Amino acid sequence: RKEVEQDPGPFNVPEGATVAFNCTYSNSASQSFFWYRQDCRKEPKLLMSVYSSGNEDGRFTAQLNRASQYISLLIRDSKLSDSATYLCVVRSGGYQKVTFGTGTKLQVIP
């Protein structure tokens, strides 16, 4: 089993739709969780950290479920500019162990 697993997609959704991605992780000792966004041929950029209580930033909502060992990202009112690959990142053991998921590709269609 991979340490961090994501559905690669692609998720093709119309503008204005709501879309959700999940990411499962295998290490129960994982401490920090993040969602990054990566545009084609660019470096990943932090979208948001994921807190135990869940957190929201505008149209984006992140949730953590430690019992089931997954995190989720919900995007409301999708924009064309949201088209990108969304990477789930799990950190354990301090800064020394950072694991990326393979990413979920989102394509928002006009």
Partner 1 sequence: GAVVSQHPSWVICKSGTSVKIECRSLDFQATTMFWYRQFPKQSLMLMATSNEGSKATYEQGVEKDKFLINHASLTLSTLTVTSAHPEDSSFYICSAISGRGNEQFFGPGTRLTVL
Q: Establish if 87 lies at the interface with partner 1 (CB under 8 A).
A: yes
Q: Establish if 32 lies at the interface with partner 1 (CB under 8 A).
A: yes
Q: Establish if 60 lies at the interface with partner 1 (CB under 8 A).
A: no
* Region from 17-25, 34-42, 56-64, 66-74 binding partner 1, contact rule CB under 8 A: 34-42
CB atoms within 10 A of CB 85: 21
Q: What is the 3-state secondary structure (H, E, C) of 33-96?
A: EEEEEECCCCCCEEEEEECCCCEEECCEEEEEECCCCEEEEEECCCCHHHCEEEEEEEEECHHH
Report, in Å, the least distance between residue 16 CB and partner 1.
Answer: 28
Q: How many angstroms separate the CA atoms of 10 and 91, rounded?
A: 25
* Region from 19-27, 45-53, 66-74, 76-84 binding partner 1, contact rule CB under 8 A: 45-53
Catalog residues that contact partner 1 under the rule CB under 8 A. 32, 34, 41-46, 49, 87, 89, 95-96, 98-103
